Amino acid sequence: MSNKVTILDIQQARAEGRKLAMVTAYDYPFGLLADQAEVDMVLVGDSLGMVVMGLDGTVEVTMEDMIHHIKAVMRGCKGPLVIGDMPFMSYNTSIREAIHNAGRLMKEGGCDAIKLEGGVDFAPTIEAIVKAGIPVQGHIGLTPQTASALGGFKMQGKDAAAAKQIIDDARSLQKAGVFSIVLEAVPAPLGKLVSEAVEVPIIGIGAGPDVDGQVLVTHDMLGLFDKFVPKFVKQFTQIRTIILDAMKAYKKEVQEVTFPGPEHSFKMPAETLAQLKAMMDD
Ligand code: KIV
């Protein structure tokens, strides 16, 4: 992709009715792949805690982890808008610390924008970060960092009052200045209503088709991470099986000495070999 996607492009896409595609990436090869696939946005999500670091959730992910992975993604991902996820407790203790840490993700990581989880309660924090000149993407509905407080990784907005709260969250985030909002794990009709209630693009993950774009965790979408597969995940391939078969084939060929073959081996002129052997006999 030659042209860099901007915040304006993301907002224009909604105005033009063009659906936005966003994926996650955590390293250089996947940053490069997302770039070559010409997706609109790449999220260096704190989901890296689960799908890359093997943790049980996102809570243990640190600022240092995020910066390390954002830097790697940025080396491969030149076209899409890259968003760095604010890890748990990097924005929750004070507005000053939130601005400081959001700035670190951009200055040290090099991403184009940041994302943080939370609704109405986080509007003042978001407003302050935006005022500091940092583009913010919101994240409402199921918020994985506080999933235990929400009763686990469950669909949100089940009853009318809870659904209305999510619409209020979206409105307050828009007022605070977010350029878009991730909406996770809500009934599809609520996804539609949230999208209609605001003007910023709503990027759904388990929010149905009537939103302005979709995001999936790449390792889920490729069938690379299958510890658990949420209902809203479509596995577009089963890359884990392909990789596993390749590794087993490699092991077999190493054991049977069918790898490396002549085409993977460096040659030595017979004369040099003879000289070497003679030298070894000395
Ligand atoms: O961390 C992440 O990957 C996310 C997505 C689920 C949107 O927040």
The per-residue pLDDT for 1 is 44
Q: How far apart are CA 218 and CA 234, in angstroms?
A: 10
Contact yes or no for 147/170 (Cβ under 8 A): no
Q: What is the pLDDT of residue 150?
A: 81
The pTM for the full model equals 0.95
Residue 176 is predicted with a pLDDT of: 98
- Ligand 1, atom 3, lies closest to the CA of 45
Q: What letters, b where the CB count within 10 A reaches 16 and e where it falls short, cover 1-24?
A: eeeebeeeebbebbeeeeebbbbb
Average pLDDT of every residue of the chain? 96
- Convert the pLDDT of each residue in 51-61 to its tens digit: 999 999 999 99
| Mean pLDDT in residue range 211-221 | 98
Q: Is 227 helix (H, G, I), strand (E, B) or coil?
A: coil
Element (H, E) at 85: strand 81-85
| Atom 1 (ligand 1) nearest CA | 45
Average pLDDT over residues 247-259: 98
Does residue 106 surpass a pLDDT of 50? Answer: yes
pLDDT digit string (tens) for 218-237? 999 999 998 889 999 999 99
Is pLDDT at 2 greater than 70 in this prediction? no
- Quick check: CB of 65 below 6 Å from ligand 1? no
Q: 137 in ligand 1 pocket by Cβ < 6 Å? A: no
- pLDDT higher than 70, residue 146: yes
| Residue 24 near ligand 1, beta carbon < 6 Å | yes
pLDDT at position 281 is 87
3-state helix, strand, coil in the chain (%, to 5): 50, 15, 40
- Contact between residue 35 and residue 80 where contact means Cβ atoms under 8 Å apart: yes
> Hey, what are 215's tokens?
């995001």
Which atom of ligand 1 approaches the CA of 144 most closely?
A: 8
Does the pLDDT of residue 111 top 80, yes or no?
yes
Residues 237-264 have a mean pLDDT of 98
Mutate to test the pocket of ligand 1, among 20, 27, 42, 46 (most ligand atoms within 8 A of CB): 46
Average pLDDT over residues 205-224: 98
Atom of ligand 1 nearest to the CA of 24: 3
Q: Kindly state if the Cβ of 85 falls inside 6 Å of ligand 1.
A: yes
Rounded Cα distance, 36 and 32, in Å: 6
Query: Which pLDDT value is given to residue 227?
Result: 87
Q: What residue's CA is closest to ligand 1, atom 6?
A: 217
